[in-house]
Amino acid sequence: MRRALGPIDAATPFNAAPSASAAFSTSAALSANPPKKKGVVAKPAARTGRTLRLSKNTRTATARPPAPGERRALRKRVVLSNTNALEVRGLADLSTQNASRLREMGFEGQVLGLSNDSVDALRALEAFKATQGWSLFRRPASLIRRETVELAECMDGVAQQKHVERRMLFGERGGGKSVLQLQAMAMAYLRGWIVVHFPEAKAMTIAHEAYRPINSKDGSTAYIQPQYTARLLGNIAKANHGVLTHMRLSKPPELPVPVQSNISLLRFVELGAGDAELAWPVWRALLSELTTPSQEGTEGLQRPPLFLSMDGVDHAMRHSAYLDTAARPIHAHDLTLIRDFAAHLSGTSPLPNGGMVLAASSASTRPSTPTLDHVLARNEAAAYSPTYTTLLSNLHAHISALATAKDVDLSALHTLPSTPSTQIPATLLTQLKHLRTHLTSLARQNRSPADLLAALAAHAPKLPEWNPYLPLDSRVADCMASVTVQKVAGLSKAEARGMLEYYAQSGVLRQTVTEGLVGERWTISGGGVVGELEKAAVKARF
């Protein structure tokens, strides 16, 4: 109605039938009022894209976009408790009393909880990860596996003899390397050690942290990361405050600001945590304080063993994403924090009060590290080669006593596993299988025992060798040369059973745990790989 009564729109001559002016005259248009803007509803928006227009396809505007850092906080959030999960009756805690007696008390293959104070310490150290399944259970607990018990016994030895255990965990994704490291941290914390943990080497090497060059004592350039160091010191202070508060400085530190001479180490570390400019000298001084020999009689100068750990250490064993002034990549070992850790891992920096340096590789965010891979394979094979040699010498003794080759007993070789396991590394397993084939064929041909002995001699253990046509990262090779490497492979069936029973008691596995179920889930999970076991038993619904 309103439109019909209004002035006739000269811009649309087809509607303007009773117009007095000629169709091509522009004077009416010029004298007319400017055309009114039409409402939005009058013209549908032009079709864009090829999607069908349905109400469910339109994107509704949310109230507000996420604030800076909000999505990251959500991604990094670690939830350690779930009120919907059942409380497991009689779940014992890993405690000061039982941490050194896990085997005697029969905890191997059982799940033990973590006490509140160790949870706080571990959370301060960022030992829990968002990708781990802590949020499925009432409170944090972990399986005490064979490797955990071995680590606990190793720690007992360290505490008694004040030696240093330098070890690197590796293995496939979801194998439990990080959780084993977490358990080691918890046990070190319960023993009253100082625990220093670098939660993710990747975060230190992908050039997301501020860095600055310094001249180190040997004349080379190293790079400090002031903000990261400050946050690391904050974590150390939070996690170790009970121990650090009773310790004081033994010598005046080299700091740009004056410090009270008998300041407690806790206050000293907090000083570095509060000021990024002081963080690096404070870290240096802290490390030198913790690595001075303990003075047992003097109050405040006793030094407990030190536990140093780093997760995702592959990223620290290659060039980092940082660039030097000529825009060449900086080796991760030139970053001072990683350099300090690597020095302790390789054993060039001693720990006079004993301790453990535990590195864990990461299989989910794995960069290409050919040198590290080679050194891991070589060290693993070297650790097994005495067993291999014993096996050969036993066979040698057996064959030497034989009259004919037909009587040879190869049962020791016939019991080899089909796939490489924690005990037998891949390279040596292949060699043993070749030996078995060779000896079997010789025995079948009824050759003389001397031929069998010659075959034995030809199959001495061969360690993996580096391809000389490829560049070797000598810093990584030197650092890892004498490190014990430990493959974290799948659980045994007994351990898998303990895990599944814990799932059932927590109410996340709603089946009776039988031998059949354990066997099935163990197989589905690639031979007891913990992460896969969790997927197979808890996250997947059959």
Binding site for another protein (CB under 8 A): 68-69, 72-73, 76-81, 83, 119, 123-124, 126, 128, 130, 199-200, 203, 206-213, 223, 227-228, 231-232, 234-235, 321-327
Put residue 345 in one of left, alpha, beta given phi > 0 → left and psi -120 to 50 → alpha.
alpha
CB of 141 to another protein, least distance (A): 14
Q: Which residues contact 448 (CB under 8 A, 6 or more apart)?
A: 405
Instruction: For another protein, give the closer residue by CB, 231 or 447.
Output: 231
Six token digits for residue 481: 């040369």
3/77 with CB nearer another protein? 77
Task: Choose between 330 and 351: whose C-beta lies nearer to another protein.
Answer: 330
* Spatial contact of 291 and 281, defined as CB atoms under 8 Å apart: no
Minimum distance of another protein from residue 399's CB (angstroms): 59
Give min distance, CB of 503 to another protein, in A: 20
What span, in angstroms and rounded, lies between the C-alpha atoms of 165 and 307?
A: 10
- C-beta of 199 vs 528, nearer to another protein: 199
Q: Considering beta carbons, is residue 72 or 539 the nearer one to another protein?
A: 72
Tell me how far apart the terminal alpha carbons of the chain are, to the nearest angstrom. Answer: 66
Cα 472 to Cα 436: distance, rounded to the nearest angstrom: 34
Asked if residues 283 and 272 have their Cβ atoms less than 8 Å apart, the reply is: yes
Minimum distance from residue 304 beta carbon to another protein (Å)? 24
Please list, in sequence order, all residues whose beta carbon lies within 8 angstroms of the beta carbon of residue 108, skipping any fewer than 6 positions away.
102, 144, 145, 146, 148, 149, 495
Cα–Cα distances in Å, from 344 out to 273, 355, 387?
22, 10, 29
CB 413 within 8 A of CB 432: yes
Nearer to another protein, 101 or 231 (CB): 231
CB of 128 to another protein, least distance (A): 7
Q: Smaller CB distance to another protein: residue 81 or 441? A: 81
Q: Decide whether 114 or 428 has the Cβ nearer to another protein.
A: 114
Minimum gap (Å) between residue 189 Cβ and another protein: 17
**Residue closer to another protein (CB basis): 203 or 426:** 203
From the number of C-beta atoms within 10 Å of its C-beta (0-12, 13-18, 19+), residue 90 rates as: exposed
Question: Rounded to an integer, what distance in angstroms lies between the CA atom of residue 163 and that of residue 305?
Answer: 9
**Which lies closer to another protein via its Cβ, residue 182 or residue 496?**
182
Show the CA angle centred on residue 28, arms to residues 27 and 32, nearest 5°: 120
Residue with smaller CB distance to another protein, 207 or 457: 207
Q: How far is the CB of 254 from another protein (least distance, A)?
A: 22
Closest distance to another protein from the beta carbon of 432 (Å): 45
Number of residues in the chain = 542
Cα 493–Cα 495–Cα 501 angle in degrees, nearest 5: 100
Write down the least CB distance from residue 79 to another protein, Å.
5
Backbone angles phi, psi at 202, to 5 degrees: -60, -40
Q: Minimum distance from CB of 238 to another protein (Å)?
A: 8
Residue 253 and residue 287: Cα distance in Å, rounded?
11
CB 361 within 8 A of CB 314: yes
**Which one, 227 or 393, has the nearer CB to another protein?**
227
Least spacing, CB of residue 196 vs another protein, in Å: 13
Q: How far is the CB of 125 from another protein (least distance, A)?
A: 10
Which CB sits closer to another protein, 177 or 197? 197
Give the tokens for residue 350.
């001693």
Residue 353: both structure tokens together: 């009060």
Give the tokens for residue 276.
């990024």
Of 213, 233, 207, residue with least CA distance to 286: 233
d(CA 277, CA 272): 8
CA-closest candidate to residue 483, choices 150, 180, 167, 177 = 167
Contact call for residues 306 and 194 (beta carbons, < 8 A) = yes
At 255, give phi and psi (nearest 5°): -125, 150
> Whole-number minimum distance, CB 452 to another protein, in Å?
60
* Minimum distance of another protein from residue 80's CB (angstroms): 4
Residue (of 207, 231, 204) closest to 336 by Cα position: 204
Q: C-alpha distances in angstroms, 44 versus 35, 41, 53, 61, 262?
A: 19, 7, 12, 19, 78
Q: Which is nearer to another protein, 231 or 438 (CB)?
A: 231
Minimal CA–CA distance to 337: which of 244, 209, 480?
A: 209
The answer to whether residues 308 and 359 touch, using CB atoms and an 8 Å cutoff, is no
